[in-house]
C-alpha cells in the first residue's frame, strides 16, 4: 500500500503559498534593489545597543571608499571623542579622530569581503585603553559589501606602575625621542614599547607586538642581521649593569631603511629570577647622512685645492721654460 506523508489538516494548501521573494510566478529571478537606507533598529535592540559595555558601530562604505557612520553607541563615541550627532545629520563621515589603522581595517574588510580583527591601544587620560575589534562585512544583493558592523571589547590598565606614582617614567616614555623597549629573554615577547616606534618606523605599538620573531628579523637589513644576532647572543651572558651597543638598519613601513643605534642591558629580578632585556634605540639616519655630506664636501675641497695648486705651479714654470727655449734659439742663430 502506497504511503503518503502526514500533513497537518490545518496547514495551508502549498499551491496557495506565496512565491519566494526572489522568484516570480513564472519562476524567473526577480531583480531586487540593494538597500540604500539604514533601517533604524527596534527599541529593544536600541536599548541593548546603548547600554552595551562594548564599542559598537555600523558604517556604510561608498564607491569612493569613504565611510559613513550610520550607528554608534556611547562607548564608541567616548573611545574616539565623537560628539553627539544632530538629528538632521543622517550621513556622518568617519571623523578625523578615528585612527588610520581603524580606517585601514575597514578598507581591508570592504575589499576582501572577509571579517577583520584589529587591536588598538589608546591613552586618552591616565588609563591605557585596549580595544579588540571584530569587524564584519554585510553583503548586499549586488554581491558587494553594503554595511560593515563592528564590536570592540574594551579593557583598561593603569599605566602607572609600581614606583611611578607621580607618572615620571610614563612621561619620559612619552616625550623621549628614543625607542624604549623591554623584551623577555627569548626576544619573542614585547613587554613594553613606547609610542615613538610609530614616528621612527611607521608601525603602531600593537603592530610590532603582533609580529613574530621571524617577521622582526626580516625587517633588519640582510647585511646587518649577523651582527644583530651576535649582539643579542652577548646579552645571554652579559653581567648585571653592563651595556652593549650595536648599529643596524631596519626597514620602515614605507620601504626605506632607518639606521638605529641601540644600547641594551639585562635586568634580572630578585624575586623571580626572570631576565628582561631593556634598551633604547636612537634614529641616527639623518646624522649619518649629514656626516657623509660633510665628507663629500671635504673631499671636493681637497680635490679643488689640489687642482688649483697644480695650476699655480704650471703658471710659474711655463714662462721660464719658454724663455729658455727662445734664448736657445737665439744662441743657435748667432752661432
Full set of structural domains in the chain with CATH: 39-158 (3.30.450.20), 168-287 (3.30.450.20)
Q: Do the beta carbons of residue 284 and residue 257 sit within 8 Å? A: no
Q: What is the mean pLDDT of the chain?
A: 75
pLDDT at 247 over 90: yes
Exposure string for 165-188, b = 16+ CB within 10 A, e = fewer? eeeeebeebeeeebbbbebeeeee
Residue predicted with more confidence, 279 or 320:
279
In the predicted structure, residue 257 carries a pLDDT above the cut 60: yes
pLDDT at 80 exceeding the cut of 80 = yes
Q: Model confidence at 85, in pLDDT bands (50, 70, 90)?
A: low
Mean local confidence (pLDDT), 252-273: 84
Please list, in sequence order, all residues whose beta carbon lies within 8 angstroms of the beta carbon of residue 16, skipping any fewer than 6 positions away: none
Tell me which DSSP letter residue 29 carries: B
pLDDT digits (tens, 9 = 90+) for 217-233: 999 999 999 999 999 88
In percent, the amount of the chain with pLDDT more than 70 equals: 68
Query: Whose grid coordinates read 615620571?
Result: 168
Helices (H), 39-93: 43-51, 74-80
Residue 320: the pLDDT is 47
**Between these two residues, 26 and 203, which has the higher pLDDT value?**
203
- Give me the pLDDT at residue 21, please: 45
Give the per-residue pLDDT at 25.
47
Highest mean pLDDT among 68-77, 95-104, 296-305: 68-77
Instruction: Give the per-residue pLDDT at 280.
Output: 93
Confidence of residue 308 (pLDDT cuts 50, 70, 90): confident
Residue 209: per-residue pLDDT: 80
Cβ contacts of 156 within 8 Å, gap of 6 or more: 127, 128, 129, 130
Instruction: Give the residue, 324 or 251, on which the prediction is more confident.
Output: 251
Amino acid at each position: 500500500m502506497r504511503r503518503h506523508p502526514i500533513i497537518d489538516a490545518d496547514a495551508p494548501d502549498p499551491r496557495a503559498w506565496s512565491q519566494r521573494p526572489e522568484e516570480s510566478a513564472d519562476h524567473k529571478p526577480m531583480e531586487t534593489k540593494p538597500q540604500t537606507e539604514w533601517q533604524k533598529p527596534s527599541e529593544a535592540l536600541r536599548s541593548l545597543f546603548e547600554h552595551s559595555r562594548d564599542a559598537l558601530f555600523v558604517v556604510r562604505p561608498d564607491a569612493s571608499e569613504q565611510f559613513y557612520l550610520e550607528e554608534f553607541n556611547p562607548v564608541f563615541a567616548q573611545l574616539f571623542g565623537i560628539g553627539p550627532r544632530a538629528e538632521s545629520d543622517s550621513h556622518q563621515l568617519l571623523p578625523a579622530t578615528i585612527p588610520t589603522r581603524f580606517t585601514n581595517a575597514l578598507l581591508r574588510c570592504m575589499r576582501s569581503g572577509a571579517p577583520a580583527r584589529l587591536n588598538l591601544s589608546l591613552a586618552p587620560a591616565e588609563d591605557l585603553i585596549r580595544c579588540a575589534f571584530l569587524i564584519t562585512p554585510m553583503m548586499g544583493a549586488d554581491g558587494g559589501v553594503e554595511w560593515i558592523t563592528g564590536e570592540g571589547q574594551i579593557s583598561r590598565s593603569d599605566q602607572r606602575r609600581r614606583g611611578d606614582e607621580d607618572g615620571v617614567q610614563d612621561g619620559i616614555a612619552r616625550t623621549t625621542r628614543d625607542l624604549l623597549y623591554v623584551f623577555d629573554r627569548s626576544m619573542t615577547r614585547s613587554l613594553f614599547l613606547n609610542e615613538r616606534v610609530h614616528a621612527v618606523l611607521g608601525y603602531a605599538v600593537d603592530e610590532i607586538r603582533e609580529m613574530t620573531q621571524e617577521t622582526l628579523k626580516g625587517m633588519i637589513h640582510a647585511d646587518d642581521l649577523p651582527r644583530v644576532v651576535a649582539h643579542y647572543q652577548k646579552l645571554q651572558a652579559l653581567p648585571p649593569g653592563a651595556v652593549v651597543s650595536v648599529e643596524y638598519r631596519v626597514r620602515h613601513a614605507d620601504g626605506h631603511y632607518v639606521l638605529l643605534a641601540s644600547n641594551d642591558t639585562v635586568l634580572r629580578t630578585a624575586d623571580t629570577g626572570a631576565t628582561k632585556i631593556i634598551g633604547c634605540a636612537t634614529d641616527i639616519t639623518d646624522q649619518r647622512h649629514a656626516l657623509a655630506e660633510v665628507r663629500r664636501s671635504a673631499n671636493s675641497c681637497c680635490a679643488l685645492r689640489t687642482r688649483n695648486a697644480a695650476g699655480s705651479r704650471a703658471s710659474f714654470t711655463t714662462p721660464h721654460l719658454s724663455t729658455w727655449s727662445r734664448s736657445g734659439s737665439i744662441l743657435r742663430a748667432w752661432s
